[in-house]
Chain A
Amino acid sequence: MTRGALDGIKVVEFANMVSGPYCGKLLADLGADVIKIEPLDGDPSRRVGPFPKSGPHPERSALFLYTNTSKRGITLNLDRLEGQEIFKRLIQWADVLIDNHPPRRLEHIGLTWEALHEMNPGLVYTSITPYGRSGPRADAKGDELTIVHAGGLGNTLPTRSVDVDRAPIKLGGYAVGYHGGLTAAPITLAAVLGRSITGSGQLVEISLQEVILALMRVNVTSARYHRVTWSRVPDRPPALGRLKTSDGYIIVGAVEDHHFRALIELMGNPEWGASREWDSMAYRTHHLMEVAPWIDEWILHERKDDIHHRGSKMGIPMGPMNSAADLERDEQYAARGFFVRVEHPEAGTHKYAGWPYQMSASPPRVKRPAPLLGQHNREVLCDVLGYPVSEFERLRRAGVV
């Protein structure tokens, strides 16, 4: 069996919902040994879903199942001194601590960054919070909807709006959570790699607002210095880009001159296309709207997948707006083996999204399905931390785990 790229890295994940858990998943699927700590009633994502038709069940939430693959899971009551003691012993075992609680959650049990650093000087402590650990809004609450707007991305959506009186929106799904976890992963790994240079672990601080701001870095500076417009309602009537097909929508990115020439050919060389003026981007910029109704009319009778293939083979950048159902039957995803089958004792066997990186020497894989609530309590306490079985039984009866 091939080895995982991150075999040997030990991670404690004290995190819930999306950002921290997704960071943990990224490390775990590449081989890191990730122990997830949940409160006794479980990560709230177990209660969020989506669920199978049989209804809500803490072991059948798609959000939890997807974002917690390859981890071991324990439950821990951190309000009990004995629970705190177990937590500290895990900190001493770990290379990395991922935490997406407000800093005061650990600080009030004495686990400040300084205390953690003293307990384990090599520890990389990745702290993900809505607004960061400093500044006037450090204690403000924030989540999926508020952060996508606080970071500037929401204000630009829905793109190509015609109605400025309609409220700006969020990205679909848990985009902020995923982006937060994704951004935390490389910097966490860099901090682990860099221990030989820096001589110790570090506090890695992620502000979700800044994660979104960073994604908008080009838009923000272009708006300021190039006076590019920033609005969900564009300054010019939009042509091309998003088009409606008989069965959905497609992005047609005929930006360059040769793309547009190919598009005219794809349309069957309509009369208007004969003019060489269409070969100039400057001309197209101001005249595309004149032919836009014909383009709209033409593509409305095409199917998105079919026109995607025909256009792409002619070199036109195109992409259908795929739903989950479209993705499931996508030939390219299937050919590359993107989706992986995961068997879970309570949720059954399903296809999960895999990884966009295929690594020749150390491929990612799902080592094990997401943990059942408290599934590895005994294994972690006895085998990892060396508690005697009798002591584990006592802690279990006492409601610590």
Chain B
Amino acid sequence: MSKSGLPLQGIRVADFCWVWAGPYSTMLLATLGAEVIKIEGHKRTDLTRHGVVWPLPDPAPTEVKTNQGLSFNSVNMNKKSVTLDLSKHEGRELAKRIAAKSDVVVDNLRAGAMKRMGLGYEVLRKLKPDLIVMSLSSRGQDGPQWDYAGYATIHQAIGGAAYVTGYPDDAPCTSGGDVDLMNGTTVAFAVLAALYHRQKTGEGQFIDYSQCEGVTALVGDLFLGYEMNGEVPERMGNAHPQYAPHNVYRCWGVDRWLALEVHSDREFGALAKVIGKPELAKDPRFATMEARKQNEAELDQIIQEWTRQRDRDWMVQELSRAGLAAAPSRDWRDLYADPHLRARNAFVDIDHPEIGKLELVGMPWKLSESEIDLRRAPLLGEHNDYVFRDLLNLSQDEIDDLREKGVIL
């Protein structure tokens, strides 16, 4: 069956985002067919264009050339780029005109920044009443902490997810930029819901998004559990409150680990057979889920005695064949090498004019009727001509004049 168009064709997004969370939300819309115009103040470009993710091996540089940052290229695919000096009145006016030609405006500047630039919702809605404006900030646009600064790990800490991540006898821990990408995904969802609402009613709206709250939504069961029983959910390492075995086991080799989880007695029987100790399934210490949970440490030791002598990938194959949930704890090399991810084309080849060939991570979904074609992130100002001439209908003289004044790069 030949594939048809992308679902968001005809939707235009003015993208005032930078770093990770905001740009990823608009990238999701772009890959689904929306025309996303990324607007950067050319005195303050998206810092990921030239930044490198910490920590670096010495003596690598902490900066690469503009356009070459890998985080930039990972979260800005399929977009167009324009540069405007937003500190100048004329720059802000042009930004306003782009917004007025758009269906959606997204920003993740500090709360209140769009308003200060004269680009707040109240101004923009006068130009286009059915506009959807999404502002994502750290704590939200109002409340006593509206102007507090934050980024991914801070949101994860405040939102309550970090507190429950870690070993019970050690400190809580944050993961990192994944939190931004999660928030970007939630933002895209809210924008799509607003688009659906507009399609039905003709009504636009303002959406105020808090990235800390985005984290809390994903531990909602733990919060409700606390509300119901007064017990604060604590860190559990790899353990589950009921299932056992449920752990990560050392394998043969250097820093190689196997994740294994058993959810029923039937599965435990299968495991006991694979590790050559079928008698464990009848052993009163391990025969029921409750007993296994009770004697979990002892059971983990028995399993690890088996795993530490063996090859990780062979064990995963045998355990999977026996119908068990088992997986390697994959590092980046393992991910790129995973034959399953390879067979599913989970990575995409990108040809970048300055960097060359890159293999980047693709989208976390597949559609049967729409072909998602991933294209490289734009160079800084790459689409100035298209946007100013074709979209805003400025004459070449006007564009030259703006360039001379430094409004456009």
Contact = CB atoms under 8 A, between A and B. Distances in A.
A362 B221 contact: no
B325 A172 contact: no
A359 B331 contact: no
B163 A323 contact: yes
Interface centre among B4, B33, B228 (most CB of A within 10 A): B228
B330 interface: yes
B70 A225 contact: yes
B170 A26 contact: no
Interface centre among A8, A53, A315, A357 (most CB of B within 10 A): A357
A116 B262 CA distance: 33
Contact of B364 (A183, A336, A361): A183
Interface string B23-46: 000001000110000000000000
Nearest to A195: B7
B261 A356 contact: no
Interface string A110-142: 000100000000000000001110111100111
A333 B164 CA distance: 19
A250 B324 CA distance: 39
Size bracket of the A interface: 35 or more
A66 B221 contact: yes
Contact of B186 (A202, A219, A249, A357): A357
B364 A214 contact: yes
Contact of B153 (A186, A193, A251, A285): A251
Contacts of B344: 132, 134-135, 207, 210
Interface string B247-263: 11110000101011101
Contacts of A154: 248, 259, 329
Interface centre among B10, B172, B230, B232 (most CB of A within 10 A): B172
Interface in B180-220: 181-183, 185-190, 192-197, 199-201, 203-214, 216-220
Contacts of B54: 228
A357 B217 CA distance: 11
A189 B189 contact: yes
B71 interface: yes
A220 B160 contact: no
Interface stretch (A83-91, A264-272, A345-353): A345-353
B328 interface: yes
B237 interface: yes
Given A183-B185, A190-B192, A228-B53, A357 B364 contact: no
Nearest to A318: B154
A359 B213 contact: no
Interface string A227-242: 1111100111000011
B216 to A, nearest CB: 5
Nearest to B9: A197
Contact of A167 (B218, B238, B320): B238
A152 B329 CA distance: 7
Contact of A145 (B143, B197, B261): B261
A158 to B, nearest CB: 5
Contacts of B328: 149-150
A335 interface: yes
A241 B172 CA distance: 12
A146 B327 contact: yes
Interface residues of B, number: 158
Contacts of B387: none
Contacts of B177: 218-219
Contacts, number: 527
Contacts of A156: 175-176
A258 to B, nearest CB: 11
A250 B73 CA distance: 31
Contacts of B165: 157-158, 169-172
Contacts of A30: 193
A174 B232 CA distance: 16
B281 to A, nearest CB: 18
A287 B159 CA distance: 31
Interface stretch (B272-280, B367-375, B390-398, B400-408): B367-375
Given A190-B32, A191-B7, A357-B190, A319 B257 contact: no
Interface in B266-314: none
B224 A144 contact: no
A18 B196 CA distance: 25
A222 B222 contact: no
Interface string B341-379: 101101000000001001111111111111000000000
Contact of A171 (B33, B161, B232): B161
Interface string B120-156: 0000000000000000000110111100111101110
Contacts of B182: 179, 182, 215
Interface stretch (B83-91, B93-101, B332-340): B332-340
Contacts of A152: 330-332, 334-335
B154 A218 contact: no
Contact of B246 (A3, A137, A145, A167): A145
Nearest to B211: A356
Contacts of A229: 55-57
Given A50-B228, A168-B329, A173-B221, A236 B55 contact: yes
Given A62-B225, A206-B365, A356-B217, A221 B4 contact: no
Contacts of A225: 70, 355, 358
A321 interface: yes
Contacts of A235: 55, 57
B275 to A, nearest CB: 17
A399 interface: no
A331 to B, nearest CB: 6
B218 A182 contact: yes
A335 B249 CA distance: 45
7 contacts: A134-B344, A142-B327, A167-B249, A203-B367, A206-B365, A214-B361, A228-B57
**3 cross-chain pairs, A with B, having the tightest CB-CB distances, nearest first:** A194-B7, A50-B225, A172-B164
Given A8-B200, A169-B237, A321-B163, 10 more contacts: A50-B241, A135-B341, A194-B8, A198-B370, A202-B370, A214-B361, A223-B332, A322-B160, A322-B163, A356-B217
